[in-house]
């Protein structure tokens, strides 16, 4: 028990101190394990325990029952193995798989996992949600003028401003290059409009890059489930369509998807150009 900083009696004695030391998210796991041991079975569970000096650490708790001559469980024998280093490496690998290396935002893979969960939840509870397609305007000019290192620095700053502009329960992911997607659960059109305006104001404020001030703007398209689509591919597509229209109207603005948008494209003769634009989108790749 030395690894934990406590004795077995301190943790599992009459005061049951483990209940105050274990991470709130792991209490149910150890409670289930304790009940299993009290029924006479040995078990193992991974938990976070608050070390007296090192804060919360991960341990593999191996628990077995100690019985009297009549076979009744009288005590719990516990052995804790420090697995904190392993868990930290596991978390690093998870971040590499699901988070963008440059901006630390969720990546395309995490976005699709999240969208699938949001879609299933919305279908089950008949809730609406919004998909926001965000494109940085003329970002290539920054790379060409200040260099790719400055461009990377700018993307990091943009990502932080985006995170600060959305609600805590929502996510914004980096899709590819200078393209981002945000997802908003149980949200009204008015709320999304306010968030879009807030994003545009925040991201459009000046930046200090390489001792030079630079400005950037963004263009946003939004689609809503289920009004604009009932599957993720359609919702992403239509948010992209709305963003495309916003670009054609002058950039640094947002548009909500509307069936009339496609009619506008047809009438302006831009339909083929738009289809090619969609085809190049990386989220269409398998």
Provide the pLDDT for residue 74. Answer: 85
Would you state the pLDDT for residue 266? Answer: 63
What was the pLDDT predicted at 155?
94
More confident site: 15 or 249: 249
What positions carry a catalytic annotation?
Answer: 178
Q: Give the percent of the chain with pLDDT over 90.
A: 42
Report in angstroms the alpha-carbon separations of 79 from 10, 108, 169.
13, 41, 38
DSSP the chain: -GGGTS-HHHHHSTT-THHHHB-GGGHHHHHHHHHHHHTT--EEEEEEEEETTTEEEEEEEEEEEEE-TTS-EEEEEEEEEE-HHHHHHHHHHHHHHHB-TTT-SB-HHHHHHHHHHHHHHHHHHT--EEEEEEEEETHHHHHHHH-HHHHHHHHHHHHHHHHHHS-TT-EEEEEETTEEEEEEES--HHHHHHHHHHHHHHHHS-EEETTEEE--EEEEEEEEETTT-SSHHHHHHHHHHHHHHHHHTTSS-EEE--HHHHHHHHHHT-HHHHHHHHHT-GGG--
Residue 173 has pLDDT above 90, yes or no: yes
Closest CA relative to residue 165, chosen from 176, 157, 177, 154:
157
CA 229 to chain centroid: 22
- Per-residue pLDDT at 286 exceeds 60: no
Over residues 6-15, the pLDDT tens digits come to 776 776 666 6
- Beta bridge partners, 46, equal 60
CA distances from 142 to 149, 162, 197, 216, 247 (A): 10, 19, 23, 9, 18
Residue 152, pLDDT above cutoff 60:
yes
Mean pLDDT of the chain: 85
Give residue-wise pLDDT tens across range 209-244.
Answer: 878 888 899 999 999 999 999 999 999 989 998 998
Give the C-alpha separation, 110 to 27, whole Å: 27
CA distances from 218 to 152, 159, 198, 236 (A): 16, 12, 11, 17
Q: What is the pTM of this model?
A: 0.67
């Amino acid at each position: 028990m030395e690894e934990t900083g406590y004795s077995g009696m301190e943790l599992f004695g009459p005061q049951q101190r483990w209940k105050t030391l274990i991470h709130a998210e792991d209490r149910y796991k150890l409670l289930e394990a304790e009940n299993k041991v009290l029924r006479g079975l040995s078990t193992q569970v991974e938990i976070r325990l608050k070390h007296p000096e090192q804060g919360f650490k991960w341990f593999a708790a191996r628990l077995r029952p100690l019985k009297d001559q009549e076979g009744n469980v009288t005590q719990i024998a516990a052995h804790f193995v420090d697995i904190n280093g392993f868990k930290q490496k596991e978390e690093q690998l998870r971040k590499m798989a699901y988070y963008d290396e440059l901006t630390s935002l969720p990546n395309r893979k995490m976005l699709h996992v999240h969208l699938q969960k949001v879609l299933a939840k919305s279908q089950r509870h008949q809730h609406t949600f919004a998909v926001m397609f965000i494109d940085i305007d003329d970002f290539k000019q920054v790379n060409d003028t200040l260099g790719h290192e400055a461009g990377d620095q700018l993307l990091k700053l943009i990502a932080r401003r985006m995170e600060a502009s959305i609600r805590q329960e929502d996510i914004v992911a980096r899709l590819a290059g200078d393209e981002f997607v945000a997802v908003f659960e149980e949200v009204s059109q008015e709320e999304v409009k306010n968030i879009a305006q807030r994003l545009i104001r925040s991201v459009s404020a000046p930046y200090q890059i390489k001792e030079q001030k630079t400005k950037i703007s963004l263009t946003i398209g939004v689609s809503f489930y289920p009004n604009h689509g009932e599957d993720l591919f359609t919702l992403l597509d239509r948010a992209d369509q709305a963003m495309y229209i916003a670009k054609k109207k002058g950039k640094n603005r947002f548009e909500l998807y509307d069936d009339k948008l496609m009619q506008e494209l047809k009438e302006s003769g831009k339909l083929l150009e738009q289809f090619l634009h969609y085809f190049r989108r990386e989220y269409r790749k398998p």
